[in-house]
């Protein structure tokens, strides 16, 4: 069965650069969530979209923005990168804005 696709899988950026992470949800899923997992930490919710509209916002820095497109894929844009942004970024999708969320393999962002 098709799973959540994230690209790129690995990304290395320097401080103050920008990064764009992409997420392709499971077909027919209409809700996308973004989570950040720092080293040795549990995943922290960043932001979610339901039917292309922002549905909830967590501890996402103002330097980050995201959107969901007409084909339901989502992009997380990160600007003025800081060393502390180094983490695993997971995207998850679900049907109907609740219930089980299915996670992608993650993007490992390293900021040097």
Residues that bind other proteins (CB under 8 A): 4, 6, 31, 33, 35, 41-45, 48, 50, 55-56, 58, 90, 92, 94, 97-106, 108
Shortest reach from residue 33's CB to other proteins, in Å: 6
Find residue 54's DSSP bridge partners: 49
Shortest reach from residue 2's CB to other proteins, in Å: 14
Closest CB to other proteins among residues 56, 82: 56
Cα separation, 76 vs 82, whole angstroms: 15
Beta-strand relationship, 31-37 and 74-78: unpaired
């Amino acid at each position: 069965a098709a799973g959540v696709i994230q690209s790129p899988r690995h990304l290395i950026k320097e401080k103050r650069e920008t990064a764009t992470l992409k997420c392709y949800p499971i077909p027919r899923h209409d809700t996308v969530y973004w989570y950040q997992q720092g080293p040795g930490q549990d995943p922290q919710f960043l932001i979610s979209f339901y039917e292309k509209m922002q549905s909830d916002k967590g501890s996402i820095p103002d330097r980050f923005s995201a959107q969901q497109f007409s084909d339901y894929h989502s992009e997380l844009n990160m600007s003025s990168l800081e060393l502390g942004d180094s983490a695993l970024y997971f995207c998850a999708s679900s049907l109907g804005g609740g219930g089980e969320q299915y996670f992608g393999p993650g993007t490992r962002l390293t900021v040097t």
